[in-house]
Amino acid sequence: MPAQHDIAAETELWDAYAASAFEDDAEPSFCWTQYAGHGPGPELLGEPRSVLEIGCGTGRSLAYLAQRGIAARGVDLSPVMVEKTTTKWAGTGAEFVCSEALEYLSEHKEVYDAVYSIFGAAWFTDPGRLFPLVRRRLKPGGVFAFSQPPAIPGAYGPQGMYKGGFAGKAMFTYRYSYRPAVWERLLTRAGFAVADARILGAPQPGHIGTLLVHAVTP
């Protein structure tokens, strides 16, 4: 049974995250992993002229792409974060929209060369609902790519996650974790022609790696 998300409660959670994670002196950068300078870069997106980032967070990757002449739009659930990113990256040409990812993908009919998520909405949204919507928002040959932590062995599917520790107000969301082969099946069932999921090892042996997923539309 799909996890039941309380959007108002999750908005509060991500507003709190925005207040702690946003750095006023940050520079544009693009990195799929949790380790700076590690792993591939935006080349996983191909050579897009337009991109949509779902769960765009601090907006650094969108600003990076926009500065390179790509029409870059991001969607984020937190109004606090969207206000911060809109102000911070105003000079780059990146555009930020406050919306829940599924609602935005359902209601807006624009299509893109690439849709992506870096530890963002692809981690926190039911893939059975998300992937078909992403597929519809991509042009033929379009790319969907996302990254997030790999599943803990034996812990698969939707999982509750508290934010900000285990004391104080109960702020939580749901994340989705699967083995790479399952991610590939979910994508091909949603209509993607090619899907590849793999775990990239961390720079230091024994540390947490990164799940990298790449799919292409027919």
Mean pLDDT across 97-126: 96
Q: What is the pLDDT of residue 26?
A: 81
Mean pLDDT across 111-120: 97
Residue 22 has pLDDT above 90, yes or no: no
The residues, any chain, with a CB within 8 Å of residue 184's CB and separated by 6 or more, are: 195, 196, 197, 213
Overall size of the chain counted in residues: 218
CB 144 within 8 A of CB 120: no
| Window from 91-100, 125-134, 170-179, 185-194 with minimum mean pLDDT | 170-179
The encoded tokens of residue 67 equal: 């500065």
CA–CA gap between residue 30 and residue 57 (Å, rounded) = 13
CA–CA gap between residue 144 and residue 135 (Å, rounded) = 8
CA–CA gap between residue 192 and residue 140 (Å, rounded) = 10
Residue 5 has pLDDT above 80, yes or no: no
Mean pLDDT across 143-171: 85
Sheet with 138-148: list strands edge to edge: 95-98, 71-76, 50-54, 112-118, 138-148, 210-216, 194-200
Mean pLDDT across 73-90: 94
Q: Which domains does the chain have, with CATH numbers?
A: 7-21+28-216 (3.40.50.150)
Write the DSSP symbol of residue 154.
T
CA–CA gap between residue 27 and residue 8 (Å, rounded) = 30
Mean pLDDT of the chain: 91
Q: What is the pLDDT of residue 108?
A: 95
